[in-house]
Structure 1
Amino acid sequence: MIKVWFITGCSTGFGRYLAQAALQKGDKVVVTARKPADIQDIVDGYPDTAIAVKLDVTQPADITSSVQQAVEKFGRIDVLVNNAGIGYFGAIEESEDEEVRRMFEINFFGLANMTKEVLPIMRKQRSGHVVNVSSIGGLVSFPAVGFYNATKYAVDGLSESLAKETAHLGIKVTIVAPSGFRTDWAGRSANNSKIEIEDYAETAGKNKNSIRGYSGNQPGDPVKAAEAIIKAVESENPPLRLLLGAGALRGARNKIMELQRDIDAWEEVTVGADSPKQ
């Protein structure tokens, strides 16, 4: 069955590769970006199955207009991929409020508002798949990206709740949690805090420099990531959380072990917090 995809943030990274892969396999794609000129090359070869649409996920009017254009062109939306996002580097104490709030507007509120706009269409269809591109940083936290982690933890929490709210309506939800991939995330798509505190040089500073220095050389292949996302969407039983990359797998398993260790060590105190009602 041919699917209609609506993908946010297609100018670079996962969004671009995913749009290309879906079109190549014969699906229809609403390809979006803040500047449509940046994505025109993706749709040029697919006049009947692709449209380039202007979308800034922080602008409610853009969200409404882009979804209307999608329905006018293709009549439905089968897969919403919330991919648009940015990064930001700085220790918690170093982080600038304006930059943090901007990141939340894009990474979380933009995603949430896009989802709310598309859900009525999927409810009417009694089918659909919401794919939220999060990060292993939505499950495991790292120094220098604490507020970025916070946006992705929020995405994960929203997604898990959404999955439980919509399963009976035929709407599926998948959280994509990549580790390091060769995209622009650690390059031009992420700003640094202008504040640097020497006391954080060995923690946040060290990790920030490591991530920046690794940009372009990460092990993750975005073409293979796009193929993995399509495979999950086409699966009869797609995962709630799709880890991508060996680093993501390592991080998730370490997190499980850490949780288990603390849960077991403090089990008596945990259970002791309950008491019978007098």
Structure 2
Amino acid sequence: MATWLITGCSTGLGRALAEAVLASGHNAAVTARNVDAVQDITAGFPDSALPLALDVTDKAQIAAAVKAAEEKFGRIDVLVNNAGYGYRAAVEEADDADIRRLFDTNFFGAVDMIKAVVPGMRANKSGTILNISSIGARITPPGSGYYSATKAALEGMSGSLRNELKPLGINVTAIEPGGFRTDFAGRSLTQSATAIGDYADTAGKRRKEVDTAHGNQPGDPDKAAKAILAVVDSPNPPGLLVLGTDAFGAFGMVADAQRAELDQWQELSTSTDITD
């Protein structure tokens, strides 16, 4: 039995994961900004579930949630940084306040959660941190520049964190899901108030009023939850896990294209060393 702390459990992948963790016999601190939204998940597990109000942009709430979980269960073995939301806008269209709010939630919220949980993991010389990224960090679609940037930042930090914590017995895995049938592209998706006509054929095609992705995503959140449980149970978990056939295929295409471009520009790239 392990103790999990999962952020963003009101809907989608976080909800599916919380349900799977509890059904598997583990303890779980199940969090959401509105704690009433997770009461139905935890109601059947009075001993192993702890519903908590948690806004990851509020450091006081983070400290209180970590303390409550450690007091009830003794320790936190698995941290899942799942809280976040989507934002669509051409880079030029985005409002400064929107951008900062997005980074505060998707990136700095995860950073603050890690800083609050890692001291206990270091003391126990064990633990797992799962940072939920997105295939968007890899494919960088038009209209998702800032969302992709938050996830790319999360992955870059996760790689360094993995190298820092692995010798201490703590694993870090970044997870890149593709499209899953959740509220991500519906209620949870935000966009800029401004729409510039010149971007109609690029970023404009992905604005909420014309996007047809919601409800048609190929991924099953319950299967994703089982895959995440399998990663935590693995004796040699990966630094990066891609989830979904769409994500797997897109990852391969991007990697192949990057390799081809790298080779094409090899001569110029390698011409900058000091020569005697």
Tell me the amino acid that sits aligned with residue 124 of structure 1. Answer: A
Tell me the amino acid that sits aligned with residue 153 of structure 1. Answer: A
Partner residue, 1:138: 137
Alignment of 1:1-278 (within 5 A): 2-208=1-207, 212-276=211-275
Deviation (angstroms), 1:263: 1.1
Contact 2:88 2:206 in 1 (8 A): no
Distance of aligned partners of 1:256 and 1:211 in 2 relative to their CA distance in 1, 3 Å threshold:
farther
Task: Give runs of ≥4 in structure 1 deviating > 4 Å.
Answer: none
Tell me the amino acid that sits aligned with residue 170 of structure 1. Answer: G
Contact 1:30 1:53 in 2 (8 A): yes
Sequence identity percentage: 49
Query: Partner of 2:217: helix, strand, or coil?
Result: coil
For residues 92-125 of structure 1, the C-alpha deviation after alignment (integer angstroms, 9 at most, x for no partner) is 1111111111110000000011001101010000
Tell me the amino acid that sits aligned with residue 225 of structure 1. Answer: A
Q: Distance in 2 between matches of 1:183 and 1:249?
A: 19
Q: Distance in 2 between matches of 1:146 and 1:107?
A: 13
- Which blocks of at least 5 consecutive residues in structure 2 are unaligned? none
Contact 2:191 2:208 in 1 (8 A): no
Tell me the amino acid that sits aligned with residue 8 of structure 1. Answer: T
Q: Distance in 2 between matches of 1:139 and 1:78?
A: 29
Q: Distance in 1 between matches of 2:128 and 2:246?
A: 26
Deviation (angstroms), 1:257: 1.0
Q: How many residues align?
A: 276
**Is the deviation greater in 206-215 or in 39-48?**
206-215
For residues 152-203 of structure 1, the C-alpha deviation after alignment (integer angstroms, 9 at most, x for no partner) is 0000000011001110000001111011101111111111211111110001
Q: Distance in 1 between matches of 2:209 and 2:39?
A: 34
Deviation (angstroms), 1:211: 7.8
Tell me the amino acid that sits aligned with residue 226 of structure 1. Answer: A
Deviation (angstroms), 1:251: 1.3
- Which blocks of at least 5 consecutive residues in structure 1 are unaligned? none
Contact 2:3 2:26 in 1 (8 A): yes
Deviation (angstroms), 1:258: 1.5
Distance of aligned partners of 1:210 and 1:152 in 2 relative to their CA distance in 1, 3 Å threshold:
farther
Tell me the amino acid that sits aligned with residue 79 of structure 1. Answer: V
Q: Distance in 1 between matches of 2:169 and 2:266?
A: 38
Deviation (angstroms), 1:210: 8.8
Tell me the amino acid that sits aligned with residue 246 of structure 2. Answer: G
Q: Distance in 1 between matches of 2:206 and 2:102?
A: 19
User: If the length of structure 2 is used for normalisation, what is the TM-score?
Assistant: 0.98
Q: CA RMSD in A?
A: 1.2
Q: Distance in 1 between matches of 2:210 and 2:128?
A: 32
Tell me the amino acid that sits aligned with residue 222 of structure 1. Answer: P
Tell me the amino acid that sits aligned with residue 230 of structure 1. Answer: L
**Is the deviation greater in 261-270 or in 143-152?**
261-270
Deviation (angstroms), 1:37: 0.6
Contact 1:64 1:117 in 2 (8 A): yes
For residues 33-80 of structure 1, the C-alpha deviation after alignment (integer angstroms, 9 at most, x for no partner) is 111111011110000000101110000000000000000000001100
